[in-house]
Amino acid sequence: MLGHYRILLRTRHAVPTVFGAAIARYPSAMMPLALLLSSAAQLDSLALGGFTAAAHGLATAVVAPVWGRWADRVGARPMLLTTGLGYPVAVVAVVTCFAWKAPLFVLFAAVIAAGACVPAAASAVRGSWRQIDDLAVRQALFSADSAAVSIVFISGPALVAVAVALSSPAAAMLLAALGASVGALLVASYARLHPAVSEPRRTISTALGFLFATVWGMGLGFGILDVAVTGFVGGGALAGILLAIWACASAVGGLWFGVIAPKAPMSVQYRWALLAMALGHLPLILAAKPSTMAMLLLFAGLTVAPTFATQAMYAAELAPPGGATETFTWLGTMGYLGMACGAALGGVLVEWRGPDAAFLIGAAGPGVGFLVVTIVQWLYFRLITPVARRRTLA
């Protein structure tokens, strides 16, 4: 059963590519907290820290599809080299603005520039993996990547804490920039990136549009979960521990999913993965104490990375020719936007009706996604496909 992972370990490009794509995600896991702490230390304002973190994340979400489209048209390697070298420069500018107490408009300009330069290494790698013919190997790659994402988001805040304890929040930002740069350059050096496609780019299919909607729903659920868990324990370090348990379980689930390598079509796998995620997170409303919440989060987390893996493979199947990298950047953008909306909605729900209401709405995100995918697939196979067949026969 572990044969597919053994193949990956023996493949020269697989390990550095997965590792590079993983550490290139550290800006998402480290920069929000690092910016928050920098603002508190240098500007004596947590509110400004929240705005700078939001500006960095929104800039990444908005500009990432532009980098993806450029990668599809001119090749992923130039994009990775540009952003891999440009992001550290932009982060150094942000650190300098904090140190010199630059005017706020200069600081925000630097933060937005940094967010816009975050390398889309993961999207480039995932776009290249869709060329692999062996479904089991491709599934093992996507599963390992999803597990690596969980590890990055577990270790990111911890690395920020260590950097702040040993030096300063600026060191944490520079460490995130180093990870992004090294990751992008590793991917550019080792990944068998797809070349630029000269044929005209086709429009995004309806199925892919619905897939983006389900990604937004998942992001909404994750954003709500962070706030709901924090509200459940009343803040403090315990919330971080519980969320770390959830993320660790996600990593285990992703690796396990790569081992079993289901044979069903990706559309079917993604549909049932969404349902499993919804049902796995619904029991969180039953938790009465932190120990119970920890056990429930452990089981809920097992469903997360497998859902991400099937989502990525399904997107690879639906991506238009010459639009693979852009497709995956849009997945990230919709996830970011969903998490931002979820964080805002979660705060309102926790204050209005308590954490249980937030957990319920959070589980509804992937649940509604399951219904959307099910209905779209039913309409396609029961209505659209028969009509197309009749037209072909006529």
Full DSSP string of 315-362: HHHHSPTT-HHHHHHHHHHHHHHHHHHHHHHHHHHHHHH-HHHHHHHH
Amino acid in position 223? G
Indicate whether 176 and 300 sit together in one domain.
no
pLDDT at 393: 38
Q: What is the DSSP string of 186-233?
A: HHHHHS-PPPP--SPPPPPPHHHHHHHHHHHHHHHHHHHHHHHHHHHH
Q: Which domain covers residue 16, as residue numbers?
A: 1-196
- State whether 221 and 184 are in the same domain: no
Mean pLDDT throughout 228-254? 80
- The better pLDDT of the pair 107, 15 is held by 107
Domain identity same for 220 and 189: no
User: For the ranges 37-51, 266-280, 288-302, which has the lowest average pLDDT?
Assistant: 37-51
pLDDT of residue 390: 42
Q: What is the pLDDT of residues 166-217, one digit of tens each?
A: 988 899 999 999 999 999 999 888 766 555 554 545 555 667 788 888 888 8
Check whether residue 4 and residue 85 sit in a common domain. Answer: yes
What digits encode the pLDDT tens for the residues 57-86? 888 888 998 998 888 888 788 899 999 999
Same domain, 190 and 211: no
HSE-up (13 A, CA, CB side) for residue 276:
18
Q: What was the pLDDT predicted at 381?
A: 63
Burial label, 166 (beta-carbon count in 10 A; 0-12, 13-18, 19+):
exposed
Q: What does the mean pLDDT of the chain come to? A: 82
pLDDT for the residue 380: 66
Are residues 187 and 277 located together in one domain of the fold? Answer: no
Q: What angle do CA 32, 210, 128 make, to 5 degrees?
A: 65
Give yes or no for a contact between 88 and 181, defined as CB atoms under 8 angstroms apart.
yes
Residue where a domain stops, chosen among 196, 215, 243: 196
158: domain CATH number is 1.20.1250.20
Q: In this structure, are 138 and 253 located in the same domain?
A: no
**Does 362 lie in the same domain as 301?**
yes
- pTM score, two decimals? 0.77
The answer to whether the beta carbons of residues 127 and 328 sit under 8 Å apart is: yes
One domain for residues 233 and 346: yes
User: Where among 156, 180, 196 does a domain terminate?
Assistant: 196
Place of tokens 């039953």: 286
Q: How confident is the model at residue 1 (pLDDT cuts 50, 70, 90)?
A: very low
- Looking at the structure, tell me whether residues 248 and 153 fall in a common domain: no
Q: Does residue 86 share a domain with residue 190? A: yes
CB-based contacts of 381, cutoff 8 Å, min separation 6: none
Mean pLDDT within 146-171:
85
Higher pLDDT, residue 131 or 17:
17
Same domain, 145 and 43: yes
Of 321, 314, 319, 280, which is closest to residue 297 (Cα–Cα)?
A: 280
Provide the domain count of the chain: 2
